[in-house]
Amino acid sequence: MKQSNKSYVKRQYIIIGIFAVVGIIYLIRLFSLQVFDRELKQNAYNNVLRYVTQYPARGKVFDRNGKLLVYNEAVYDLMVVPSEVRDMDTAEFCRLVNISHETFKERLSKARKYSRIKASVFVGQISKEDYAHIAEVLYRFPGFYFQTRTLRHYPQAIAAHTLGDIGEVNKEEMAADSYYKMGDYIGKSGIERFYEKELRGKKGLKVVMVDVHNKEKGSYLDGALDSLPVPGKDIYLGLDADLQAYGEQLMHGKIGSIVAIEPKTGQILAFVTSPSYDPNLLVGRVRGENYTMLLNDPEKPLLNRAISGTYPPGSTFKMVNGMIALQSGSITPATQFHCNGQASTPIKCTHSHGSSPDLANAIENSCNPYFYEAFKTTINNPKFGSIKKGFEYWCQMAHNLGLGHRFDTDIPYESTGNIPTVEDYDKMYRGSWNSVTIRSLGIGQGEILVTPLQLANIAAVVANEGYYYPPHFIRAFGDSTAVPEKMTTRIETGIEARHCKVIKAGMRSVFEGGHGTARGSKIPGISAGGKTGTAQNPHGDNHSIFIAFAPVEDPQIALAIVIENGGYGSTWAAPIASLMMEKYIKGYTERPAVEERMMNGTINYNIKKKK
């Protein structure tokens, strides 16, 4: 019996010891968690801490002369943390923020699907006035708080397509870059899109303590966990704001585009597409509604015709054929081809001039038979061995001049245009074709398609006498970051300067010659070179086209104008080009009658508006 009692007491001590050890272990663990484990302690505060993203100021955009094109204005996003939303007067809240009860449920459901514990935008882009009214009583609605951010503003309603716009990120954009979270904004088009990483800056973080009444009580740990946002880079464009605004005025009531380039750098001075729109329309809470309105406009103001519009170049392409013919040795400046006017075959001439023009005279008078013969002589040149080899040379030279491909700089969504190939014609004519079959290429018709940007670059090539810099918008970054080398690399076309000088002289006679096709648009006190084009349009009246540069001795501007359905190149495109060059070089114009006629003149396109 005594032995049994001793055994029982022994087991009792063992059990008590086990409980004591377990208790000590728990005490040690609790002490460790509460005193040493900072991470867990911080997690315990999650229900009273708020992690607020500090959005950086987006970089501003300036023109080449330092004029402000885009800046930021403060707005406020109403954020929600779904897990914290409880016991609130939903009807009062909906009245406060001006949304329906159905909208409230939809947005809260969307926020929960994103995350129950992470904040997301509930009502975006609230004005300063509405913010002040809502902020006073927001403490009554747990789970909601304000976050400051900025929106873009455009002091001048110009260059909408160039500057682009910003909008809320979508799923694809968030998947492609972990920097973005739901509710963030990103560049959607234009400069805003291409230079997004430079303009956006770097987000910061602020951790604040919040009481049970949803009111902020100050920074957590005296801001030890906070980080400051880094502002985005300011950027300077080659664009001239005054010239851009002037070009948009000249294009009022017309469909088409103007592209002006600084030949010595490739920087774009003006990038006009018409019709256009006020870039402020695509800012803030009305962005979606206005975008739909613009998208459904039958005049297609969202279409950037300067890079997406493709046209037969017409007689402006004669400069290309002239340069290639000279470089290949197929003609000389003194070479003459017979012109018999309307009786000429297979290409007729629409101008009255000498029957056997040389190259300069043919440019001045835009002689169709001359440039057809020059084209035919080039691709039939015996040194190539066959017409197909000759045509391959012609194609390669056209490509060297910037045609048939994108420049791939900071100009998004460029069209390549079209320079037909041997393979195209072999397929089209089952391998049997010759210079007569493709004769329209000699005068810029047929299968050739170009963009206004490409045409402006051709003018720059002639102005530079054989080379160009890839057309681009960027001029400089505000922090002195170097402009990408690709945009400052000189491109040699393979056309010798001596041949370009001949073309240059001929283009000068277009303004100054007795029979020059743009002599009515001569600029007082400024020497200029140009070439008219009247491009056939199977869908209506011909397009009015013009390319030019000035001054001839030291070109500062090269440009191309396309006026859809404008008829002859001398009717609309040449006068507008001459005014643009005069405005840029002088800073003013001295031909009020021409200016008034171009600004107030409109073309009837018979476009039916939706009711």
**Cα(331)–Cα(320) distance, integer angstroms:** 14
Percent of the chain residues topping a pLDDT of 70: 92
Q: Which residues contact 293 (CB under 8 A, 6 or more apart)?
A: none
Query: Residues 383-412: what's their mean pLDDT?
Result: 96
* pTM given for the model: 0.86
Alpha helices in 251-386 (DSSP H): 287-295, 305-308, 318-327, 359-365, 368-379
Q: What is the pLDDT of residue 610?
A: 46
Q: What is the pLDDT of residue 40?
A: 47
| 49-237 topology per CATH | Penicillin-binding protein 2a (Domain 2) (3.90.1310)
Model confidence at 314, pLDDT cuts 50, 70, 90, reads very high
- Sign, CA torsion 19/20/25/27: positive
Query: Residues 227-253: what's their mean pLDDT?
Result: 96
Q: How many Cα atoms sit within 13 Å of 277 on the Cβ side?
A: 22
Beta strand pairing status for 61-62 and 235-237?
A: parallel
What are the pLDDT digits (tens) for 361-371?
A: 999 999 999 99
Closest CA to 376 of 345, 352, 406, 419: 345
Model confidence at 6, pLDDT cuts 50, 70, 90, reads low
Q: What is the pLDDT of residue 322?
A: 97
Q: What is the pLDDT of residue 286?
A: 84
Query: Residues 333-359: what's their mean pLDDT?
Result: 83
Q: Which residues contact 251 (CB under 8 A, 6 or more apart)?
A: 257, 258, 272, 274, 576
Supply 561's token pair: 């104008």
**Cα(507)–Cα(43) distance, integer angstroms:** 76
**Cα(597)–Cα(602) distance, integer angstroms:** 9
**Cα(458)–Cα(317) distance, integer angstroms:** 9
Homologous superfamily of domain range 241-290+303-542+555-600: DD-peptidase/beta-lactamase superfamily (3.40.710.10)
What are the pLDDT digits (tens) for 15-67?
A: 777 767 777 776 776 666 555 555 545 444 445 787 878 889 999 999 999 99
Q: What is the pLDDT of residue 83?
A: 87
Q: What is the pLDDT of residue 611?
A: 42
**Cα(188)–Cα(167) distance, integer angstroms:** 6
Q: What is the pLDDT of residue 267?
A: 98
**Cα(450)–Cα(257) distance, integer angstroms:** 13
DSSP class per residue in 208-242: EEE-TTS-EEEEGGGGTT-B--BPPPPEEES--HH
Supply 78's token pair: 């109403």
Q: What is the pLDDT of residue 285?
A: 78
What are the pLDDT digits (tens) for 496-510?
A: 999 999 999 999 999
Considering the chain, tell me which residue range(s) the CATH 3.40.710.10 domain(s) occupy.
241-290+303-542+555-600
Q: Over 70: is that where the pLDDT of 355 sits?
A: yes
Q: Are 402 and 458 in contact (CB under 8 A)?
A: yes
Considering the chain, tell me which residue range(s) the CATH 3.90.1310.10 domain(s) occupy.
49-237
**Cα(33)–Cα(35) distance, integer angstroms:** 6
